A = this chain, B = another copy of it.
Amino acid sequence: MTILTISGSLRDGSFNTALLDAAAEELGHEARFTRFDPGSLPLYNGDLDSDEHRPESVLALGDAIREADAVLFATPEYNHVIPGVLANLLDWASRPLGGTPPLRNKPVAVIGASPGLVGTARAQDHLKFVLMTIGARPLGGAGLLVGGALSKFEEGKLVDPETRRRLRELVDRLIRQAQARLEAA
């Protein structure tokens, strides 16, 4: 069982990247957690989107998603929507990339953290909508809105026990959804 994790924030010390680290710590005994860096991708350009011109990083994105049984996104919220960093990754990931678009039918989940109260609620909705449009399978049920991040992280690490518990519960559900899909296949 492999869970690919993708953070929408490129900065060092990102709360969202730290959320993904915490997920790997909590559930590392149940699944292998991998990471793809969306900062490695070029901005989408249709002229590069062909078998002759596709950049290495884009091929690596396709491989990373195809090798994963589920994908976990952590997104900041900029102007009430997802960062261009994630939007650009989705532009590439929604393309065939030499086969079937890799997110098609893939179990996915969305989490996010922010200093404010809303905890990226609006960006998470936006991301789930795009993932649904692409044909991925967003995890149902309660999500994880981590507001007030300044008091829940210390030195780049999620230290709030209740948030860690809810994170573990959510990722556990994602793993079970991925398992159910493997067994049905």
Contact = CB atoms under 8 A, between A and B. Distances in A.
Interface residues of A, number: 48
A121 to B, nearest CB: 5
Contact of A132 (B9, B44, B84, B132): B132
Contact of A47 (B12, B118, B134): B12
Interface in A43-101: 43-47, 78-91, 94
Given A80-B133, A88-B88, A125-B129, A43 B39 contact: yes
A121 B77 CA distance: 12
Nearest to A49: B11
A94 B84 CA distance: 12
